[in-house]
């Protein structure tokens, strides 16, 4: 059993069913996607230049990131992973905060007051029980807000996925579980993740709604997430959405996908480029021109450039930050690790000073 794949426009941008929004909203969505791609490309370049640390690109997933977050209201909570800073920015996380995270600044783990975005979850699937609990708590407090929880296909093999989704189903937590099925968990293909035909079909086992959507079709993602959020707000419980998409780049900038992926695989999936699909749809309606494209790209470049400047003007991060905020009461072994780490760094700095002086 495999659920139908929801599509609103085909890869040529032609509508195949009712479009869930007007041209103004679709244009705003396209502008966000262009911004997200600009950010991602710049971040990869910054990593290659050694100006930020390892980076997890989301190229190819812009429809998922932009449209799912676009469906949120300000009071709703977003729980992202390390790959979902695109969605976080669309939900209001300042661009320099998103970039500062990848530049190793611990301050960026906390979104500003009023921006309902959790810190990115690096351990796989730990945010799923958190989402179930936040949703349940909000319901108990009488709030009408909902939660959007991002995770990958790999996360669905973790115990936390089953526990979190099951809990949310039982307690009718207002959560949209949004699985970006991008084909791989690092090098492990989806076919090795589950014997089920899809992720969405597993919703039935938890007694919740499930939907499979073309994750490269921004309008389909918007439609599915909006309906799921409305259901959550009305007390209809959680939904498990599987967005079928493809990760174009490497898992992170430390990964080499040519070692485990066939180069023709992306074209065989026939999902098209998510930005191109929405652009074609709007252009055919006369609602997107070359001038619009130029203006969107220029605005995106300026926004990213300002964030790069702001992050590079910050004081360098304190190396001890990787030890800070881990334990409330630090065990002795941990204090010892910190002491040794800092002593090692001190020796490294002294050694490089000696080398420089010796070379003069
Ligand atoms: C609990 C845990 N186990 C293993 C890892 C190492 N790890 C980092 S990313 C990743 C793959 C995750 O794949 P998926 O959930 O599909 O997300 P994607 O990165 O593809 O978006 C793994 C196994 C981790 N971060 N946390």
User: Global pTM?
Assistant: 0.95
The residue behind tokens 């396209």 is: 30
- Measured distance CA(169)–CA(165) in Å, rounded: 6
Query: Taking the CA of residue 207 as centre, how many other CA atoms within 13 Å lie in the half-sphere pointing to its CB?
Result: 10
CA of residue 116 to ligand 1 center, whole Å: 24
Closest ligand 1 atom to 158 CA: 1
What pLDDT band is residue 103 in, cutting at 50, 70 and 90?
very high
What percentage of the chain carries pLDDT values higher than 70? 97
Mean pLDDT of 78-102: 98
User: CB 254: neighbour CB atoms within 10 A?
Assistant: 11
Give me the catalytic one of 17, 110, 192, 260. Answer: 260
Mean pLDDT of 268-273: 92
CA of residue 200 to ligand 1 center, whole Å: 19
Please say if 82 is a catalytic residue.
no
Distances (CA, A) of 77 to 74, 235, 262, 283: 8, 16, 37, 33
> Using a 6 Å CB cutoff, which residues line ligand 1?
83, 122-124, 151-155, 180, 182, 184-186, 251
- Measured distance CA(146)–CA(98) in Å, rounded: 23
What is the rounded average pLDDT for all residues in the chain? Answer: 95
Q: Is the pLDDT of residue 351 over 70?
A: no
Residues in a beta bridge with 240: 177, 210
Please say if 27 is a catalytic residue.
no
């Amino acid at each position: 059993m495999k659920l139908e794949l929801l599509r609103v426009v085909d890869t040529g941008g032609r509508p195949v069913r009712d479009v869930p929004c007007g041209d103004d909203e679709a244009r705003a969505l396209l502008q966000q996607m262009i911004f997200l791609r600009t950010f991602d490309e710049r971040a990869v370049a910054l990593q290659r230049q050694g100006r930020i640390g390892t980076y997890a690109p989301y190229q190819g997933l812009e429809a998922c990131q932009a449209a799912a977050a676009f469906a949120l209201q300000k009071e709703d909570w977003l729980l992202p992973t390390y790959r979902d800073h695109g969605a976080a920015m669309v939900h209001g996380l300042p661009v320099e905060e998103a970039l500062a995270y990848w530049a190793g600044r611990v301050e960026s783990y906390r979104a500003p007051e009023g921006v309902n975005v959790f810190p990115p979850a690096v351990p796989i699937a730990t945010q799923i029980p958190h989402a179930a609990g936040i949703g349940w708590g909000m319901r108990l407090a009488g709030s009408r807000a909902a939660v959007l929880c991002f995770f990958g296909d790999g996360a669905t093999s973790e115990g936390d996925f089953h526990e979190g989704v099951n809990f949310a189903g039982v307690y009718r937590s207002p959560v949209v579980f949004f699985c970006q099925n991008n084909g791989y968990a690092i090098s492990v293909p989806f076919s090795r993740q589950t014997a089920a035909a899809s992720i969405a079909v597993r919703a039935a086992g938890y007694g919740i709604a499930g939907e499979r959507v073309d994750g490269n079709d921004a309008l389909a993602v918007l439609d599915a997430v909006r309906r799921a959020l409305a259901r959550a707000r009305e007390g209809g419980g959680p939904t498990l959405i599987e967005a079928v998409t493809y990760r174009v780049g490497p898992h992170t900038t430390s990964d080499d996908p040519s070692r485990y992926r066939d180069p023709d695989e992306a074209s065989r999936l026939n999902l098209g480029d998510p930005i191109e699909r929405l652009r074609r749809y709007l252009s055919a309606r006369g609602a997107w021109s070359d001038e619009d494209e130029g203006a969107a790209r220029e605005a995106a470049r300026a926004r990213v450039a300002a964030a790069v400047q702001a992050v590079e003007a910050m004081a360098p991060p304190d190396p001890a930050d990787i030890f800070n905020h881990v334990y409330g009461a630090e065990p002795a072994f941990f204090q010892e690790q910190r002491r040794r780490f800092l002593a090692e760094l001190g020796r490294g700095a002294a050694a490089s000073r000696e080398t420089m002086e010796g070379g003069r």
